[in-house]
Amino acid sequence: PLVKDLFGLTELEERIRSHFGLKQVVIVPGDSDTSPHTKKELGRAGAAVLLKHVSQDEVIAVTGGSTTAEVAYHLSSSNSLKGSWFVPARGGLGESLEFQANTIASTMAKKTGAKYRLLHVPDHLGEEAYQSLMQDSTILEIIQFIRKARIVVHGIGEAMVMARRRKVDAGTTSNLQQDGALAEAFGYYFDRGGKILHKMPTVGLRIEDIQEMDCVIGVAGGKSKGEAIASVLRFGQEDILVTDEAAAIEIVHLL
């Protein structure tokens, strides 16, 4: 039997897949919270899933984070990607440079031999700055380009961990907490039931763009993220989940 079956991972994959109506679930053994090796395997599995689903000449949107950075690390030169473009899913969310979507998109392009386009918008935009950016023709042009993506690779985080890491202001953070925010993905915060509570004020993909995509790939693992991953799955737009054993066990406990 496959090593996976010995761990019962194939069965776990099928339980999560059928419960949430996903196209595919891939589970790697271990817990990314405590094992750097598992986190690497998560990245490797994410890279394999991405390469399997891309077709010629397409726009691939990616989010930031340490997990998508692992996916980028494991990509390699691919003929099927030569005519494709990697783009950031959304602009400045307050991440450090190495975890920014722009950085991940350019790394993915360099690794695979694809092209990339970047979105340069400042972090922590106020409403007024946001509105005026939306009038800028170069920004509008790249946003239109990003919205052509039919495939997105994204991380999932715990709401409070992400709010802290991205230095979300105290007022917004306490509102999120009071409203029961559990998860964050592509700059949106979700409650337990998968309802959107808050949208980070930046540009790029909107929720309606994500709803229309053919292939939404979530890559996230670690026991601590189980609840957050379940929240995003309840939101109902995911097609493929790449996760690890520890997160998968948490998710199954919540079903």
Is the CB of 56 or the CB of 177 nearer to ligand G3H? 177
Is the CB of 37 or the CB of 56 nearer to ligand G3H? 37
The residues with which 240 forms a beta bridge, in sequence order, are 24, 217
- Which of 65, 94, 194, 218 binds ligand G3H (CB under 6 A)? It is 65
Closest approach of ligand G3H to the CB of residue 10, in Å: 25
Q: Does 35 bind ligand G3H (CB under 6 A)?
A: no
Is the CB of 65 or the CB of 111 nearer to ligand G3H? 65
Q: Does 66 bind ligand G3H (CB under 6 A)?
A: yes
Q: Does 162 bind ligand G3H (CB under 6 A)?
A: yes
User: For the sheet containing 196-199, what is the strand order?
Assistant: 157-158, 181-185, 188-191, 196-199
Q: Does 202 bind ligand G3H (CB under 6 A)?
A: no
- Count residues binding ligand G3H (CB under 6 A): 11
CB environment 71-87: b (16+ within 10 A), e (fewer):
bbbbbeebebbeebbbb
* Burial group, residue 163, by CB count within 10 angstroms (0-12, 13-18, 19+): buried
Q: Could you tell me what percentage of the chain is helix, strand and coil, using 3-state DSSP and rounding each to the nearest 5?
A: 50, 20, 35
Closest approach of ligand G3H to the CB of residue 99, in Å: 6
Phi (first) and psi of residue 232, to 5 degrees: -70, -35
Is the CB of 135 or the CB of 210 nearer to ligand G3H? 210
Closest approach of ligand G3H to the CB of residue 148, in Å: 22
Q: Does 88 bind ligand G3H (CB under 6 A)?
A: no
Are 229 and 194 in contact, with CB atoms under 8 Å apart?
no
Which residue blocks in 75-117 are alpha helix, DSSP H? Answer: 101-112
Q: Does 64 bind ligand G3H (CB under 6 A)?
A: yes
Is the CB of 3 or the CB of 164 nearer to ligand G3H? 164
Query: Residues in the site for ligand G3H, rule: CB under 6 A?
Result: 63-67, 155-157, 162, 184-185
